[in-house]
Structure 1
């Protein structure tokens, strides 16, 4: 099987490495910059194309799109038109322009697609999902979901002001950047019926995007969830809590554990993640899942249609913050 990775930044290089680890996959790359091409050639010894049309002409079975967010649609559309299966990093795009055309081609050609929301492969959140599906906390009434970290410390040695997350013209901002939380809220709780948001650029960081967002989601089930997203916390934080009629389910990224409180016996049960778990395993599992979807062994946990729904919610969140309005998503 032949894979093409377009966009050779840090996430593109991670996917190349993991694909080579999985084995029995021929990997090539495409990047517009000589530095990007040279880096993957040196690290992995693979062919790296300057011209995207040449890269597609080599006949890849699947294309991995890891360009900046605002540059996802064009290469994805060309790949889909060429009949390639698609993996697109989250979010699908920075707006909905051109998305309907891709969705139409994917449906017409029966292409396999996956959107890169790797948190769906984290053992902690997978355990939370399992407990929710089993009804261990009863009917879920509310949820609190949080993620925050200090952007300048993400990539030592790299000027944070130049990365896509800090720039509105490249699809940055914490709402789109932290779409993982919107995605797994929907994964856990179902369809979103309505929402509202307050968001702004509040810190002294040199950004032109929102760095703090607080979102309220009302689900069709009636559940109300609060999501807090930020670029400003000086200590990394990622956690969630689901409150049910019969108990509470919690997860904390830093603690590496899931908690289940039972209202029946007033007892906490703790589920520790595997002691040898490494973060890259999420990405390996994600890419292996994509390969298995192409071969028909599995079905995508988040295809492009699901990714498009995540984006629709995120864009409504941004609209709510801008217009200071409560927005209904019921169609």
Structure 2
């Protein structure tokens, strides 16, 4: 018997995925706290305990809450749920550093109880890459690309009305923040960034359709990053090049290729589908006995927002921009 409760705030695409994983894979029946009242009957019919107000929550045991609402609502939900126990909030933590700084100023929270859901940290390939890059000697460049076609993301859904299309909530810097997180998690956080954001008008959305970022890590590694909603043939990879060879991680195929200076090459395949990564992340969040991996902290989630904000400023000023971390 569990000595804690699990709550999922939000029942959209991401919230529904969490609910399914808890129910089907972990045998846990979470409490559902949906944003849209029209979902109450449906969720109740599926066997979930559904609440309309936190006053209905049983406070006799700790609550582990997952926030899977719109980005603009994340901090409000974190503030409401954190008094009940630990909180895991979907990425990005919030829309901007201004929102985050106001939140910190007005709210007295134990941020050690807050984590951000960057699930690629729970990729077996990612952990392998973190170790393998140490074998490359001095790394001189890292190239990361994540390109796909936004209209094909959610079949049956009008992409122009999705949060991805909205200037204050979507755009590739927020939607594809995983790339910024694992780049900095593996190679370190830069002091400044050069960014070029673009909206060609092709997709008819408010938010940026593409972003090109460049920075130099504290160890002198040049990192270049390409994110876009425009590519009809998806690409997602990281390539690190060093004095002794290259490591290439193909995120779509869950493979890592290691090429050394003597011409030898080895290719590794990993079991890394999205549900497995989310399950590993959930296990770490709940502190289950077989948990492996480390959650992104509140501070690390804030650094991703800070780096994204700096890239936007850089794009407007057409100059390198210092990153203002918390």
Question: If the length of structure 2 is used for normalisation, what is the TM-score?
Answer: 0.90
Give the structure 2 partner of residue 162 of structure 1. Answer: 161
Conservation of the 8 A alpha-carbon contact between 1:66 and 1:89: yes
Q: How does 1:45-194 map to 2 (within 5 A)?
A: 45-55=47-57, 61-80=63-82, 82-96=83-97, 97=99, 98-101=102-105, 104-107=108-111, 111-132=112-133, 135-169=134-168, 171-194=169-192
Find the aligned partners of 1:56 and 1:204 in 2 and give their Cα distance: 49
SS in 1 for 2:215: strand
Conservation of the 8 A alpha-carbon contact between 2:310 and 2:324: no
Alpha-carbon shift at residue 70 of structure 1 (Å): 0.7
Find the aligned partners of 1:323 and 1:56 in 2 and give their Cα distance: 51
SS in 2 for 1:128: helix
List gaps (5 residues or longer) in structure 2.
none
Alpha-carbon shift at residue 211 of structure 1 (Å): 0.4
SS in 1 for 2:72: helix
Alpha-carbon shift at residue 324 of structure 1 (Å): 1.8
Find the aligned partners of 2:127 and 2:26 in 1 and give their Cα distance: 25
SS in 1 for 2:316: helix
Give the structure 2 partner of residue 42 of structure 1. Answer: 45
Structure 1 residues 324 and 38, CA, compared in 2 at 3 Å: closer, same or farther?
Answer: farther
Conservation of the 8 A alpha-carbon contact between 1:62 and 1:84: yes
Alpha-carbon shift at residue 141 of structure 1 (Å): 1.4
Alpha-carbon shift at residue 221 of structure 1 (Å): 1.0
Structure 1 residues 167 and 74, CA, compared in 2 at 3 Å: closer, same or farther?
Answer: same
SS in 2 for 1:148: strand
Matched, 1:8 2:11: yes
SS in 1 for 2:296: coil
Structure 1 residues 253 and 164, CA, compared in 2 at 3 Å: closer, same or farther?
Answer: same
Conservation of the 8 A alpha-carbon contact between 2:93 and 2:302: yes
Conservation of the 8 A alpha-carbon contact between 2:166 and 2:206: yes
Conservation of the 8 A alpha-carbon contact between 2:147 and 2:231: yes
Structure 1 residues 56 and 164, CA, compared in 2 at 3 Å: closer, same or farther?
Answer: farther
Structure 1 residues 237 and 62, CA, compared in 2 at 3 Å: closer, same or farther?
Answer: same
Alpha-carbon shift at residue 203 of structure 1 (Å): 4.2
Conservation of the 8 A alpha-carbon contact between 1:32 and 1:51: no
Q: Deviations over 1:105-162 (max 9, x none)?
A: 114xxx5322111111223222211212xx2111211100010111111111111011
Alpha-carbon shift at residue 42 of structure 1 (Å): 3.4
Q: How does 1:174-323 map to 2 (within 5 A)?
A: 174-263=172-261, 265-274=262-271, 277-292=272-287, 300-323=294-317
Alpha-carbon shift at residue 24 of structure 1 (Å): 6.7
SS in 2 for 1:168: coil
Give me the CA root mean square deviation.
2.4
Q: Deviations over 1:63-103 (max 9, x none)?
A: 111100011000101222x2421100000000132442588
Conservation of the 8 A alpha-carbon contact between 1:9 and 1:36: no
SS in 1 for 2:135: coil
Find the aligned partners of 1:165 and 1:258 in 2 and give their Cα distance: 30
SS in 2 for 1:234: strand
Find the aligned partners of 1:165 and 1:285 in 2 and give their Cα distance: 26
SS in 1 for 2:18: helix
Alpha-carbon shift at residue 177 of structure 1 (Å): 1.1
Matched, 1:19 2:22: yes
Alpha-carbon shift at residue 60 of structure 1 (Å): 5.2
Find the aligned partners of 1:321 and 1:258 in 2 and give their Cα distance: 32
Find the aligned partners of 1:103 and 1:245 in 2 and give their Cα distance: 47
List gaps (5 residues or longer) in structure 1.
none
